[in-house]
Amino acid sequence: MPSSRINDLVIRFANVNGTGSASANGLFAKAIFRMGIPVSPKNIFPSNIQGLPTWYEVRVNEKGYLARKDGIDVLVGVNPQTLRRDIDSISSGGYFVYDSSKKLHEEYYRDDVTMLGIPMMKISMDHYEVPRHQQLFKNIIYLGAIAALLDVELEVIKELIAEQFATKEKLIPPNYKALDLGYEYAQNSFECPLKVRVERRDLIGDKILIEGNEATALGTIYGGATVLTWYPITPSTSIAKAFESYAKKFRIDSATGKNKFAIVQAEDELAAIGMVLGGTWNGARSFTATSGAGISLMNEFIGYAYYAEVPCFLINVQRGGPSTGMPTRTQQGDVLFCAYASHGDTRHILLFPSTPTECFEMGALGLDLADRFQTVVFMMSDLDLGMNEHLTEPLHWDKNRKYDRGKVLSAKDFEDPDLEWARYLDVDGDGITYRTIPATHPTKGSYFTRGSSHNEYARYSESGEDYVRLVDRIARKIDTAKKHVPGAELYQKISSSPLGMIFYGTTTYAAIEAMDIFESNGIAIDSMRIRGFPFDEDVVKFIQEHETVFVVEQNKDGQMRTLLINELEINPAVLVPILNYNGYPISAYNINTQIDQHLSINNLMKEVL
């Protein structure tokens, strides 16, 4: 017997890509959101345009847990290619909703799953004529049925449909009809609602449901980026797309109709980052977004930007590596590579957003930090964060906020007869030197930017002493950044357990849930979320205050753990890796299991309880 649960379920839609299902599925998630219930949808899509399996998985959870959860309560299976595995994936006691236009072969039946056949295609063909419409409305029909089965408010879905087709009003009635058809079929055929179902709440507040990449793009818009140079690559492409569409809305000069921005689709990633360097060197806020292979290709320029000290904001929306790897799956697999990218001794600033709201904030902050530190700043997003909608705080911008352009001298500064300027002279002791933008002054302030070694006056030098002074100063500069990157977030006022847990980015949702589960089992685990690199003092302190610290991340080699050990001179024995690297977002259950296992093996359980 299925257990009865309200607002706590996982539903998965199994579709074929290119059949218009994405829109119907999106309506479902949005309807839950509108009903005031926390929701977390995940798109699991192939690296392909049409005809392959794609899944849309939605977790509904009124406690607000947004992590992916293992176990599927309801599976809407409309892809014959994957029938077997879809049915197998349903939790015992769950439901299988399928298209019964054709009879389901007996071998697919499961005793412990309720099989709910709906002749979706048949209904659609009975009511619509054009084949393409039959295909599209089939999706709305199953949405209607799901609404009945799960008690989703039909009015809410209708409202969403009306908004969606606001400019194509004649599409509204046929959609309504399809919705009703599905709804009624389910009402008439099954006992509705099911035991797992939803119910209106008021738990959303002013939160929004937005993709990380969309928020990132908005961050760079508010942060004052005017130059975007990029090369298409999943899952970063939608940043460029969103930047373009917002720029076209808010960055057109009203008098002339001209653009207060420039977007260039570069010929490849090497060119994209080269253009960023040219743009920032010349004083315009510029950035690029890429992933995986793009980062590899950018390595030469990354080292250049580090060494010649040219600001460069680089957004890495990570996907499954190495190589082309799993381009439509998520991972946090480039952490180490980005931290030390390019040949020679280097170290780069990293930002780790874990919500779209932070994508927005760090999208703007990254531009500031790049200018302030005249170096490469990576924002380490990932496919899960970037391409899925997340429930998150609304975006906020202080209208009086000024861009931090860093240490840039103006023509006026050069009028000061006491100014003794040298491009790479550390006058403030923080490792950051003063730069000039070309054309600042007719006779003062020009200098030569180069990736070969140079002295304080930006002159070429092969002196070992000049070199050592230079690289030591740059290292000092990156150290200074510790205080400027977003600090670690602590989930408790004071440390109260010998056990600690560190996480970052998209491991956060699952880690918080895992922490709660441990707590409800009487095990306290202190937690900290890392938001920036180089690490600040809080990170050191947190680790020092715990005997064992679990580092939760989504890669194979425990890359953040390596970074912690190497940068903070931590004994590796203290840091226990908790890893997930199969390309799917990590679940709380996974974390709990791995930590449990470690604790029981090490007999720590006793001690902690």
Partner 1 sequence: MSFHKPTFAHPELPINKVGYRKKDYEGVISTLCAGCGHDSISASIVQACYEIDLEPHKLAKMSGIGCSSKTPAYFLSNSHGFNSVHGRMPSVTTGANLANKDLTYLGVSGDGDSASIGMGQFVHVARRNLNMTYILMNNGCYGLTKGQDSATADLGSISKSGSENPFQGIDLVGLALELGASFVARSFSGDKSQLVPLIKAALAHPGFAFIDVISPCVTFNNNKGSTKSYDYVRQHIEATSEFDFVPKEQPIKVEYSEGTGKSVTLFDGSTIYLDKLSNNWDPTDRYSAINRIQEGKKKGEIVTGLLYINPESQELHKLLNTVDTPLNKLTEKDLYPGDGILDRINDTFR
Ligand X SMILES: Cc1ncc(C[n+]2csc(CCOP(=O)(O)OP(=O)(O)O)c2C)c(N)n1
Interacting residues with partner 1 between 402 and 421 (CB under 8 A): 402-403
| Residue 570 binds: one of partner 1, a second copy, ligand SF4, none (C-beta under 5 to 8 A by kind) | a second copy
Does residue 437 interact with partner 1 by CB under 8 A? Answer: yes
- Give yes or no for a contact between 543 and 499, defined as CB atoms under 8 angstroms apart: no
* CB-count burial class (<10 Å; 0-12, 13-18, 19+) for 399: exposed
- Residue 13's binding partner out of ligand SF4, ligand X, a second copy, none, with CB under 5 to 8 Å set by partner kind: none
- Minimum distance from residue 86 beta carbon to partner 1 (Å): 14
Residues 34-53 that bind ligand X (CB under 6 A): none
Q: Which does 465 bind (CB under 5 to 8 A by kind): partner 1, a second copy, ligand SF4, none?
A: a second copy
Instruction: Output 223 or 321, the one with its CB closest to ligand X.
Output: 321
- The contact set with a second copy (CB under 8 A) reads 46-47, 292-293, 295-297, 299-300, 302-304, 306-308, 320-329, 331, 333-334, 336-337, 340, 342-347, 450-453, 462, 464-465, 467-468, 471-472, 475, 555-557, 559, 562, 565-566, 569-573, 581-584
Residues 19-38 that bind partner 1 (CB under 8 A): 33-34
Site for ligand X in 95-124 (CB under 6 A): none
Q: Of the two residues 28 and 535, which places its CB atom closer to partner 1 in the complex? A: 28
Q: According to CB under 6 A, which one of 1, 49, 494, 573 is a site residue for ligand SF4?
A: 49
Window 42 to 61, contacts with partner 1 (CB under 8 A): 46-53
Residue 480 contact among partner 1, a second copy, ligand SF4, none, beta carbon within 5 to 8 Å by kind: none
Does 221 interact with partner 1 (rule: CB under 8 A)? yes
**Phi and psi (nearest 5°) for 14?**
-105, 110
Evaluate whether 370 touches 504 at the Cβ level (below 8 Å): no
Nearer to ligand SF4, 49 or 166 (CB): 49
DSSP, collapsed to helix, strand or coil, labels residue 86 as helix
For residue 293, state whether it binds ligand X (rule: CB under 6 A). yes
Cα dihedral 24, 29, 34, 35 sign = positive
Residue 424 interacts with partner 1 (CB under 8 A)? no
State yes or no: residue 268 binds partner 1 (CB under 8 A): yes
- The piece of 14-22, 89-97, 291-299, 468-476 that touches ligand X (CB under 6 A) is 291-299
Of these partners, a second copy, partner 1, ligand SF4, none, which one is at the site of residue 329 (CB under 5 to 8 Å by kind)?
Answer: a second copy
> Residue 420 Cβ, how far from partner 1 at the closest point, in Å?
17
Residue 175: both structure tokens together: 């959609």
Per-residue contact string for residues 439-478; x = within reach of partner 1 by CB under 8 A = xxxxx--xxxxxxx------xxxx----------------
Minimum CB distance to ligand SF4 smaller for 50 or for 452: 50
Binding test (CB under 8 A) with partner 1, winner from 79, 213, 280, 290: 280
Which of residues 114, 237, 354, 580 is near partner 1 by CB under 8 A? 237
The site partner of 410 among ligand SF4, a second copy, partner 1, none (C-beta below 5 to 8 Å per kind) is none
Cβ–Cβ under 8 Å, residues 313 and 228? no
Q: Which two tokens stand for residue 443?
A: 């006779």
Judged by CB under 6 A, how many residues of this single chain contact ligand X?
A: 8
Span from 28-36, 84-92, 225-233, 429-437 in contact with ligand X (CB under 6 A): 225-233
Longest dimension (CA), the chain: 90
Strand partners, 477: none
User: Coil, strand or helix: which one is 495?
Assistant: coil
Long-range pairs of 155-161 with CB within 8 A, sequence gap ≥ 24: 156/31, 156/34, 156/35, 157/27, 157/28, 157/31, 159/34, 160/27, 160/30, 160/31, 160/34, 161/27
Mark the segment that binds ligand X (CB under 6 A) among 14-22, 226-234, 253-261, 574-582.
226-234
Q: Which of residues 322-341 bind ligand X (CB under 6 A)?
A: 324
Binding partner 1 by CB under 8 A: which of 45, 301, 509, 518?
301
| Residue 453 binds which of partner 1, a second copy, ligand SF4, none (CB < 5-8 A, kind-dependent) | a second copy
Burial letters 330-364, b for 16+ CB under 10 A, else e? bbbbbbbbbbebbeeebbbbbbbbbbbbbbbbbbb
Pairing of strands 548-553, 526-530: unpaired
Contacts (Cβ under 8 Å, ≥6 apart) of 337: 295, 559
* Minimum gap (Å) between residue 482 Cβ and partner 1: 27
Provide, rounded to whole angstroms, the least separation between the CB of residue 518 and partner 1.
Answer: 33
DSSP 250-304: H-B-TTT--BS-EEEE-SSHHHHHHHHHHHHHTT--EEEEE-THHHHHHHHHHHH
Task: List the one residue from 233, 271, 501, 530 that touches ligand X (CB under 6 A).
Answer: 233
Token pair for 123: 């209904």
294 binding ligand X? (CB under 6 A): yes
Q: Who's near 215: CB < 8 A, 6+ residues apart?
A: 356, 357, 359, 360, 363, 392, 395
Among candidate residues 47, 579, 527, the one with its CA nearest the CA of residue 335: 579
443 binds, among ligand X, a second copy, partner 1, none (CB under 5 to 8 A by kind): partner 1
- Pick from 485, 310, 241: nearest CA to 380: 485
d(CA 77, CA 96): 7
Residues numbered 50 to 89 that lie near ligand SF4 (CB under 6 A) are: 50
Written as one string, the DSSP assignment of 184-241 is: HHHHHHS-SS-SEE-------TT-EEEEHHHHHHHHHHHTT--EEEE---TTTHHHHH
- Residue type at 495 in one-letter notation: S
Quick one: three-class SS letters along 532-565?
A: EECCCHHHHHHHHCCCEEEEEECCCCCHHHHHHH
Q: Assess 255 for contact with ligand SF4 (CB under 6 A).
A: no
The rounded Cα 233 to chain-centroid distance in angstroms is 15
Question: For ligand X, what does the binding mask look like between residues 259 and 288, x meaning CB under 6 A?
Answer: ----------x-------------------
Task: Specify the residue, 18 or 71, whose C-beta has the smaller distance to partner 1.
Answer: 18
With CB cut-offs between 5 and 8 Å by kind, which of a second copy, ligand X, ligand SF4, none does residue 49 bind?
Answer: ligand SF4
Q: Which residue in 173, 232, 394, 438 binds ligand X (CB under 6 A)?
A: 232
Q: Are residues 62 and 7 in contact, defined by beta-carbon separation less than 8 angstroms? A: yes
Interface with ligand X (CB under 6 A)? 231-233, 269, 293-294, 297, 324
Interface with ligand SF4 (CB under 6 A)? 49-50
